[in-house]
Structure formats: C-alpha cells, structure tokens
Structure 1
Amino acid sequence: MPHITLEYSKNLGDIINVSKLVYDLHEELAAQGIDRERIKTRALACNYVSVGERGSRGHMLHLTLLLLEGRDNATKNKYGDALHKMMKNRVADTVKHCSITLEIRDMAKDTYYM
C-alpha cells in the first residue's frame, strides 16, 4: 500500500520508455512523503484499445492510485496532481494525441491484508 497501476496502450509502449515511467512515478509518490518501501508500482500493456476518434490508433495512459482509506481530499489531490503532471510531461514531447487520465480510490482497511 499504496498501489500504482498504470495501464497503457501497447502502441504507446512502442514510443515511450514505460519502465522509466514506472520508476519515475514510484519515486514521485515517494517524494510526496509516502514511505518508498510501502509503494507498489506496476504497468499493464493493453493490447486492444479504442481511444476516442482515433480508435485503435489512439494512445492512452490511465493510472489508478489505491490508498488505504483515511486521507483527506486535499492530500489525495496533491498526490494525483503530481502523478498526472508527470505523465503529461513525459508524453507531451513525444506523442501529439494521448488520453491521460488518473483516478484515486480508497481501499477499506477492514478488507486489506498486509
């Protein structure tokens, strides 16, 4: 806990260094004050996507950040803003059209096992 799951269109993985992005997202969340040892970050390539008007030629990044419940919205937004900005900056110079989204979800403490 927390968990970062990055989904990306496989065609985007041919253009950007996903491994470096995973590392940088992990480090960015740690820079926000979360213990690096507790962060779990992974990326999943989506082989088949349809993105807006571009359909299967579209590029997308979607990050889901899972946090144990209890953080206020200001804290969650701080994390989200930092991670979203990093993704946008990483893709901006390389890919002209890319859907970049992020969502933050709470995990119930009663049903999360460590």
Structure 2
Amino acid sequence: MPHTTVEFSSDLGSVFDTAGFAEDLHPTIASIADASVEGCKTRFLHPGFVDTDYLHIADGSPRHAMIHVEIALLSGRTTDVKRELGQAVLALVRTHTAPAPAFRIQMSVEIRELDRETYATHVEPVRDASPQDAPVRDDA
C-alpha cells in the first residue's frame, strides 16, 4: 500500500519521464503520508498499452493531452495531509514532463481512501531471500 495509477496520453510517451516520476513519487508518498517506500506500487496506463482503449479530451483535437494520477491510501489521513500530497505529486508530474509546445496538457491528481477496516493484503516473500532481507511493511 499505497496504490498509484497514472493514466496519460500515448502522445506523451517521450515527454513524460515515467521512471523518474516513479522514483521520486514513492519517497514523496512515504514522507508525506507516513507510508513505506517498500509498500508503494505504481502502474502506468496509456491508450497505446491496450488496443481497445480510446482517449477523447476536450473537443477531440489531437493537440490535447492528459496526465492523471490517482493515489489510493488507507483511510485515516487528514485532509491537510491529502492536500499536501496532491500538491506535491502535481509538482512532480510537472517536473517530469518535458516541454511539449504542440500539446495542451491537462495534469491532475486525485487522492482517494481505501477503507482500512475492509482492505486486505498479502505480500508473498521471495523464496530464496537471504536472512538480512527485511519484511515489507504494507500497512500504510
């Protein structure tokens, strides 16, 4: 936990640095939302990944593009913490998006809660783990 899904226009594949974003995102979430980097998971989606996906933005002009980040956290964070995290993640999106004058890029972040009382998780350990491997904290 936390789970992050990032949807973005396929035209931004060379503009949006997904690897750099994820590397900066996980410690940001851990720091602001009192989570662990080891428990962070991020999935990137864009219409080019799946043939059946279709993306229509605004009037449908190919000059429109988008990046939307959804972060799901276990319930219990204050509104101030969620607001701070949303603003920090939006800043990371902007930092990891190269200038693209051909596009009007809409960027957004949504922080949502998972019910702590009903959320279930299990982390399967690596079978050949050495004794110094620490267990993953997945309770954030």
SS at match of 1:95: coil
The question of 1:105 aligning with 2:112 is answered: yes
TM-score, reference length from structure 2: 0.71
Moved more, 46-55 or 99-108: 46-55
Partners of 2:13 and 2:67 in 1: CA distance: 10
Structure 2 regions of 5+ residues with no counterpart? 49-53, 122-140
Give the strand-richer structure, 1 or 2. 1
Q: Distance in 2 between matches of 1:59 and 1:7?
A: 11
2:72–2:112 CA contact under 8 A, matched in 1: yes
Classify the secondary structure of the residue corresponding to 1:60: strand
Matched residues in 2 for 1:12 and 1:40: separation?
21
Q: Residues 69 and 108 of structure 2 are in contact (CA less than 8 Å); yes or no, is this contact kept in structure 1?
A: yes
TM-align CA RMSD: 1.8
Rg (Cα) greater in structure = 2
Larger fraction in helix: 1
Task: For 1:73 and 1:88, locate their aligned partners in 2 and report how far apart those are by CA, in whole Å.
Answer: 23
CA distance in 2: counterparts of 1:109 and 1:34, whole angstroms: 14
Cα distance, 1:25 vs structure 2 = 1.7
Three-state SS of the structure 2 residue aligned to 1:81 is: helix
The number of aligned residues is 113
Normalised to the residue count of structure 1, the TM-score between the two structures is 0.85
Q: Distance in 1 between matches of 2:118 and 2:20?
A: 32
